[in-house]
Structure 1
């Protein structure tokens, strides 16, 4: 096996398209690894570190597309390039047949095609994203900036620039939003309703909106602000605008604020901003206190109904919980002591880590999968997705980590998230089942039993159908809990001595 690179000059494609293309390339016979990335300096370093870069790729520039594969021979590599060309040519038109209208290649041509557009979704390399976002703002468009790795000084400048023009910049690294009922990025199919969400978290927003929908309420808007917005450096610039927008929206009766803990200065400012909203507000910052994303969603539902939410650790009946925990412990060997979380969602991973730490202790810091005790890994982090699709799109990297954790004789419980919605894999549960079965077989060969606990973030209206996904997992012996928080608590209970 060796690396082959094919460079296509001036052939830009957005990161989501390229992540999906990578999955397709790795299915070509004779191809072991693949990446499709723009030839920016940062991407070339990533490909070099992953063993995917050759001299041809090293010579590529930022506007060039690099198709990189590790293949058995040149014929396999060229077959992969042909597959990439066929896939991207097919996606380059609005239809699939002869004479189909080409997709716009610039913001200006997109505006000519859709002159009444008022939102631009930008997904290009972070080094160049700010310039494109500024063009969109100058054109009078609100911006959802999906791109990450945008320098923080550019983020601050863009958000101030947007505010001066009465516009909103959501992001950078904003993966989830719902505006006037229209889902953007990785979002779930939820009904319109009276609860508005302002979120500095993508999968956190998905968990909250999904729980709200399953409780019988709906969402007016989900405004993503970007993961760094609540830092003191950025100052909560977009969060302030989001709160103002939800306060002014007649269709929003209750406001829900979620994210990671804000900086000290932003936290003080948020208190007064929330008071000015003048509407009931539910608020949760992952890792602070004992509440959960589920609690925040249920609190918002209760506020919308004029009720009071009384948090509980589990909504599953005690008898059922005891049965599930007892079955999960059956066959466990003395050396099996630890929970190992293998996650696709960053905020969900942090929530699981926080709950495990509060319940069990001895949890590795961060969500990088390091440490010899209880540990959680967020496989959506850049370090794990070099040349590979995000785990919400493709489960390959998760399957590898499931096998890795199952091979450790100290693993007692595998803790997983399954995230549904637009943009996610068509059958994420099915993607994991073979790996779960193999992990259990591997434990069985040692005379051990491996417990698997999961949650499914989504709704029955999602393209994947939550009930169907839950049924598939339970049919394979996975203990599926109603929320990520409840799954983490059950995993801790199973592992506790």
Structure 2
């Protein structure tokens, strides 16, 4: 049976009450306990889950409803739970006092704004039926909005997002669980190293998994912008997605964009893709539940899984970081001089795919690609090794080819491999580095050349992989982790992308100040990360009585 009681006028956030429910459910002689505020949505939930009691008819949104499922008919259990509830509420209050010695608090939105006049984000996690009104107030005061709250109507969501767009603001959510802006962890967020990858997601855990996998791949992020699960539906129209793309397009620190969403409406997906294409930066896009017809289309990379999305984003992040410090060679040609035949073949294939060329089927004199002025040569071909050692042993043939590039100013990028291990030249990187330094010195000052290399081998090899990389990098050679990275960087050097938008960064990508309404722990997390925050101790006006609340508004 269900025993119940109401604790009048004691508003608490939903997370605290969930924790209390779990703790009280461990009490002896109790099957399960539900503790909720008496909002209309919560009352419906209590009824749907079998916790309803007739006394809850009298509860207001400011009252705590406690439902106790037990096999016992003894009402004494209620007295025990009343005492236990009071103890739990006292523990929460004491814990907040200890954690929040410096946390500013306010009892009204106006007071919160006066305490933090530079606030530019309202983080809202109050009951859904009240969230839209507070979001409207925040937008009116020039604040962007992140709505952790759910149970907000689609109509309210669309209206809020249209309003925000007209004001040059963004509404993330409702039901947005994750965001990370200018170092501020909002709601459920992760600590990530600073990098050059910006994330947009209509998927909270999708964003978190991308952050996790990008970090594991040795890269970092700039910002993560949540949209809410309904943003890409036909009903909402992707309004916040479009704003988020504009934000990252104008962010000079975000060189790569990773976009993830649950299955979107077909027409909204098309609009988002067009917007992502137009902004010019490399984009890795994952539309869950769809199989890409093409894997790459210009600056867009399409993926099927979060793991694949993170790996490609991390690769592009490394490439874009390297491209910034390479001499730019717009319209120049790419040459590749390889000691490894298979490496030359793969490099030719990758380059041909990216530039729309054809590989050389005849392989005459080791030529793997010879089209449009671009050449990839396998110097291990029989033509070069007749009466001579393989270039992995004797680099003289390649050194001659490198030296010949001194006056070939049409070549803007040189691709190379360094293959180490037993049998290979013991000082391969040092020898190559000297040749590259000499080449750069002989090139005309108005025709610099970008040199990109990969190293095939391990740390346990006699030459030691990391030592070889150091020699190369000290000579100004960009060392990439793989051939796809090297070829992508080469293409970026000869055809650098130019963002279609001016670099005028939005305020929330530079610094964040937050008014937090709802879950107290969100404010504590921001405080711990030294983000300016005021905790608005929100409670329904007039105890949730809408008629009385409207009268009070008119009196103001």
Sort the TM-score into its range (normalised by shorter chain): 0.5 to 0.7
The partner residue of 1:240 within 239, 242, 256 is: 242
Offset of residue 300 of structure 1: 0.6
* Counterparts of residues 82-121 of structure 1 (less than 5 Å): 82-92=83-93, 94-96=96-98, 103-121=105-123
CA distance 1:152–1:99, shift in 2 (3 Å): closer
The aligned residue for residue 477 of structure 1 is: none
Residue by residue over 1:357-392, the C-alpha shift from the partner in whole angstroms, topping out at 9 and shown as x without a partner, is: xxxxxxxxxxxxxxxxxxxxxxxxxxxxxxxxxxxx
SS of the residue corresponding to residue 168 of structure 2 reads coil
SS of the residue corresponding to residue 31 of structure 1 reads coil
Aligned partners of 1:99 and 1:193: how far apart in 2? 33
The aligned residue for residue 53 of structure 2 is: 54
Aligned partners of 2:217 and 2:109: how far apart in 1? 40
SS of the residue corresponding to residue 303 of structure 1 reads helix
Structure 1: gaps (5+ residues): 311-421, 424-497
* Counterparts of residues 170-185 of structure 1 (less than 5 Å): 170-185=172-187
The aligned residue for residue 222 of structure 1 is: 224
TM-score, length basis structure 2? 0.52
Say whether 1:302 aligns with 2:308.
no
Structure 2: gaps (5+ residues): 292-302, 321-346, 351-520, 523-556
CA distance 1:26–1:274, shift in 2 (3 Å): same
Say whether 1:193 aligns with 2:192.
no
Deviating 4+ runs (over 6 angstroms): 97-102
The partner residue of 2:267 within 265, 268, 275 is: 265
Offset of residue 47 of structure 1: 0.9
Aligned partners of 2:132 and 2:87: how far apart in 1? 31
CA distance 1:252–1:82, shift in 2 (3 Å): farther
Aligned partners of 1:85 and 1:255: how far apart in 2? 49
CA distance 1:92–1:244, shift in 2 (3 Å): farther
| Higher RCO (CA 8 Å, separation ≥ 6 residues) | 2
Aligned partners of 1:98 and 1:255: how far apart in 2? 36
The aligned residue for residue 282 of structure 1 is: 284
The aligned residue for residue 70 of structure 1 is: 69
Aligned partners of 1:98 and 1:169: how far apart in 2? 28
SS of the residue corresponding to residue 178 of structure 1 reads strand
Aligned partners of 1:245 and 1:105: how far apart in 2? 32
CA distance 1:101–1:174, shift in 2 (3 Å): closer
* Counterparts of residues 384-423 of structure 1 (less than 5 Å): none
CA contact 1:92–1:103 (8 Å) conserved in 2: no
Aligned partners of 1:24 and 1:143: how far apart in 2? 32
Offset of residue 21 of structure 1: 2.2
Deviates more, 1:150-159 or 1:175-184: 175-184
Offset of residue 88 of structure 1: 3.0
Aligned partners of 2:13 and 2:170: how far apart in 1? 22
CA contact 1:92–1:102 (8 Å) conserved in 2: no
Residue by residue over 1:1-47, the C-alpha shift from the partner in whole angstroms, topping out at 9 and shown as x without a partner, is: x3222223343322222222222222233332122222122321221
Aligned partners of 1:218 and 1:19: how far apart in 2? 34
Deviates more, 1:138-147 or 1:282-291: 282-291
Aligned partners of 1:79 and 1:283: how far apart in 2? 54
The aligned residue for residue 39 of structure 1 is: 38
SS of the residue corresponding to residue 273 of structure 2 reads helix
Offset of residue 55 of structure 1: 1.6
Considering only aligned residues, what root-mean-square deviation do their CA atoms show, in Å? 2.7
Aligned partners of 1:98 and 1:211: how far apart in 2? 33
Aligned partners of 1:143 and 1:213: how far apart in 2? 27
Aligned partners of 2:141 and 2:88: how far apart in 1? 32
TM-score, length basis structure 1? 0.58
Aligned partners of 1:60 and 1:27: how far apart in 2? 25
